[in-house]
Structures are given as structure tokens and as C-alpha cells.
Amino acid sequence: MSLGDFVKSSNLRLILLGLLGVMLVVAGSFMGSGRTIGREGGELLASLQSYERWLAQEAERVVSTIEGVGKVTVSVKLEAGFEKETLWSTQLSRQTTVEKGQGNERQSSQESVSREMVTTRASGEESPFVPRTRLPKVAGVVVVAQGANDPQVKANIYRAVTTLLDVPAHKVEVLPMRGGR
């Protein structure tokens, strides 16, 4: 069998396809590791989406009460997930040694710091003690409102959203609704 026949053979194609598949799996494990969502990740993603929806509904409720707004839709996106603060126990130890001899004195000190995460034990499992979880910051807000063509109504929407969600105005976009005034 010549090299040309070997290249054309289906065995080589199968081998090359197999190698390509292995390379894709290996590359995917490096590049896609952040995209793989386990049970905890899925629960976190669901709670983030739920929090985004709640913030959007709250903003819609408030903005819809502003005079001249009309029908309104709000979308909220968050920067990152919930940030859990953990407690750490830090111990600092100092040891000082003084050596005296022949009229002179030599002093040496040694310091060491040890840090350990504070944990709790429940149902036989040890886990970090989390005294507080910080809510994620708002990355951006889009408000689509019927009355957004009116500059005064638009300004009122900006003020309401920036105050309510504690987000700077450059992260808020207010747009007129299709078919609005």
C-alpha cells in the first residue's frame, strides 16, 4: 500500500477524526470549565436570575407610577454572583530572645502569623462560617417606556432607577417604546 492509498483509506480518516475529537474534548475542558454548571452552580444561576427578575419587577412597579410614563418594561443585569464573606481566625506570635555576654547585648525577634478559616459543623460536615452574603451589584438597566420621548419623563425615569437600584446613570438606558407617544 502506497502512502497515497493509506491517506485515502478510511482507517486514517477514522484516526484523524478520533484525534480531532480528543483535541476538542481537551480544549473544551480548559476553555469551557467556567461554562459547566453543576448542581450548586445551577442553583446559584437560578437565584441570580430570580434576583434580576425581582429587581426588574420592583423597578417596573416604581417607574410605572411616574406621571406620563405609560406602559413600561425593565430589564436588569447583574455584574457577578452573590459574594459570601467568610471569617478568618488570625494568630500572631512573637518570640524575642535576648543574649547577654561580655558587655554587649544581642536581641533577636521572630514573628509568625497563622490564618485559619472559621468553620461550622452541621450534620457531620464542616463548612466555612459565612456571617454575611453581599448582594451582587447591578451591571446595567434598560427601561423601555411609552412616555420616554418626553425629556422630562425620561429624566424622571433616570432619577427613579438610579436611586432605587443604587446604580450610576451611565449604566441605565431609557428608551421609547415602539408606538409610544
Instruction: Say if residue 72 is in the same domain as residue 145.
Output: yes
Same domain, 92 and 21: no
Written as one letter, the residue type at 47 is S
Q: Any idea which residue has 480518516 for its cell?
A: 13
Alpha carbon of 93 to those of 27, 76, 97, 114: distances in Å? 47, 49, 13, 8
| Claim to verify: residue 155 and residue 74 sit in the same structural domain | yes
| One domain for residues 9 and 97 | no
The answer to whether the CB of 161 falls within 8 A of the CB of 73 is no
- 32 and 42 share a domain? no
* Domains: count for the chain: 3
**Claim to verify: residue 13 and residue 76 sit in the same structural domain:** no
Please check whether residues 73 and 49 belong to one and the same domain. Answer: yes
Give the range of the structural domain holding residue 6, as residue numbers without chain letter: 1-36
Per-residue pLDDT, 159: 95
Q: What is the pLDDT of residue 90?
A: 82
Per-residue model confidence as pLDDT tens for the chain (181 residues): 555 555 455 555 555 555 555 555 545 444 443 434 344 445 555 677 888 899 999 999 999 999 999 999 999 998 876 666 677 778 888 888 888 877 788 888 888 888 887 878 888 888 777 666 677 888 999 999 999 999 999 999 999 999 999 999 999 999 999 875 5
Helix (H) or strand (E) holding 139, with range, is strand 138-145
Instruction: Based on the fold, state whether residues 77 and 141 are members of the same structural domain.
Output: yes
Do 27 and 108 sit in the same domain of this protein?
no
Looking at the fold, whether 149 and 165 belong to one and the same domain comes out as yes
Look up the CATH number of the domain holding residue 66.
3.30.300.30
- Classify burial at 105, counting beta carbons within 10 Å of its beta carbon; exposed 0-12, middle 13-18, buried 19 or more: exposed
> Can you give the pLDDT at residue 14?
54
Same domain as 95, residue 159 = no
Residues 157 and 118 in one domain: no
